[in-house]
Amino acid sequence: MKVFNKFEEGLSFVFKLITAVALFVQMFIVFLGVIMRYCFSSPQPWIDELSAYLLVVITYLGGYVALRGDKMAGITFLRDSLPPGAKKALCVLGDLMMMVLLAAMAWYGYALCSSAAVINQRTPTLRIPIIVFYCLIPISGALMELCMINRLIAHICGTDVAVEEKGAYTE
């Protein structure tokens, strides 16, 4: 399990960096797009397209980073008010439901990426193969599934998931 945790930690660090760079680039090009559109009356269609695809990168890779770091949004007042046994059962049930959702995301994301329409498609302006962005769906789904398996095992064993976050944009 230590090897898997080390692997996850390294992957999380790399995805944090990619997400941070994508967010910075997105902020820069959106600012550039506003300047080009309103100051020079010359809108650039590639800016809107690239900004949308960077949002996809930020969403899927950032989702893995947030899940790994236990930073997902949640309403915990019900869980926190339960006795330890019921709390554990609720956490295990929630983890199992999340695993079903993530497995479906990975499975159908892979099916989507395998379709000829996606494999042969390119973005309209930049002409980047669309599969580059679509492949983030099954990859992040599978990685989040592995993260949830690790978390489920920790909940069943009664241990906390050790998350040592360091690197890009941490407190």
Dump pLDDT digits (tens) for 133-142. 999 999 999 9
Is residue 130 within 8 A of residue 121, CB to CB? The reply is yes
Q: Cβ–Cβ contacts within 10 Å for residue 159, how many?
A: 9
CA 59 to CA 87: how far, in whole Å? 29
CB-CB contact of 20 with 169 (8 Å): yes
Q: pLDDT tens-digit profile of 24-68?
A: 999 999 999 999 999 999 989 999 999 999 999 999 999 999 998
Domain residue ranges of the chain, discontinuous segments joined by +: 2-157
Q: What is the pTM of this model?
A: 0.81
